Amino acid sequence: MRAVAFQNQKGGVGKSTLSLLVAEQLAQSGRKVIFLDNDPQGNSTQWFLNRLTDADYPLILEELQSKNLYNLLEEKIAPQNALLELPETTVKLLAATPNYEQAKTAFRDQPGHENLFRMLLLGLSTEALVCDTPGELSLLTNWSLSLCDVVVIPVQTEMFAVETLPIQLERIRTARKYLNPELKQIFLLPNLFDTRLKSCHYALDYLVDHYRDNLIFQEDQQPLWIPKRAEIMGFIDSHEPVRSNDMTSRLQVLVQALFPEF
Ligand SMILES: Nc1ncnc2c1ncn2[C@@H]1O[C@H](COP(=O)(O)OP(=O)(O)OP(=O)(O)O)[C@@H](O)[C@H]1O
Ligand SMILES: [Mg+2]
């Protein structure tokens, strides 16, 4: 299994959006995927639930009462039984329910809690695990860092966002040192790029100059960035698949970089 976490302590940078896009892309190419919603806000969980038909909704909602991340951490359910299967997708969901917020305090004093995810999830039978994380720094962030092989930091392409990166990278490197030596790569993924704005180009150039090793490059040697596009909002709001050639090929490059063995 290869686990990829989308992480940034800044909110609204596209963690949920990009993690959902990657998970769906993997599922559509026939891969076995688990989506771990490690954010008590539960935006990604809600995205999956919003896709259900009126007929399926009550049934899945009832299953969610037992099949969720919090019950897994409390060991009320075994890992393989905690995965919520959904009719509209082959992605299996480890769902964040509203009580997941309590996990921050409930497990805080448990010895070795930093490795909770690692202990519980590494044995799951899947090819890919995609993890969404909250836009904050908390012990939840460390839980996904303890598990993942790759971290993707979606970065809004603007200087205020870029300036937070040294602290974020340092934190992830410390996690690699003390929590998870298996953490192989940290990628920066410029998002919400508006080609018309000089400020976006400036921030992208800065990223290339200062963080070249953390960027993903396309065949034409251009750094991979995700444009600000209505089709992405359509994917989130109305569950419309992303169709433009440009976006499809950017997602393919992203998936290839994150899962090179596929
Ligand atoms: N490339 C993009 N083009 C257009 N809209 C985008 C793009 N990426 C993200 N968005 C939109 O920006 C908003 C914030 O995205 P998202 O919820 O994925 O961010 P987040 O980092 O998960 O936020 P949080 O920290 O609150 O969890 C959403 O409405 C999403 O549809
Ligand atoms: Mg989110």
Task: For 167-213, write each residue's pLDDT tens digit.
Answer: 999 999 999 999 999 999 999 999 999 999 999 999 999 999 999 99
Tens-place pLDDT, residues 80-122: 999 999 999 999 999 999 999 999 999 999 999 999 999 999 8
Gap from CA of 133 to ligand 1 centroid (Å): 13
Mean pLDDT for all residues in the chain: 96
In the prediction, which pLDDT does 46 show? 98
136-156: per-residue pLDDT in tens?
Answer: 989 999 999 999 999 999 999
Say if residues 147 and 22 touch (Cβ distance below 8 Å). Answer: no
Average pLDDT rounded to a whole number, residues 52-65 = 98
Residue 74 CA, ligand 2 centroid: distance in Å: 23
Look at ligand 1, atom 29, and give the residue with the nearest C-alpha: 233
Q: Which H or E element spans position 151?
A: strand 150-156
Nearest CA to ligand 1 atom 3: 228
State the pLDDT at residue 109. 94
Among residues of the chain, what percentage have pLDDT more than 90?
98
CATH of 2-258, one of 3.40.50.1380, 4.10.320.10, 3.40.50.300, 1.10.150.20: 3.40.50.300
Instruction: Domain ranges for the chain, please list them.
Output: 2-258
Distance in angstroms (rounded) separating the CA atoms of residues 193 and 191: 5
Q: Whose CA is nearest to atom 14 of ligand 1?
A: 12
% of the chain surpassing 70 pLDDT: 100
pTM above 0.95, yes or no: yes
Q: Are 187 and 53 in contact (CB under 8 A)?
A: no
Contacts of 216 (CB under 8 A, 6+ apart): 187, 189, 223, 224, 253, 254, 257
pLDDT at 122: 87
Q: To the nearest 10°, report the CA torsion of 112, 117, 123, 127.
A: -150
pLDDT over threshold 90, residue 123: no
Cβ < 6 A, ligand 1 pocket: 11-17, 39, 41, 43, 135, 191-192, 226, 228-229, 232-233, 236
CA distance 247 to 261: 22
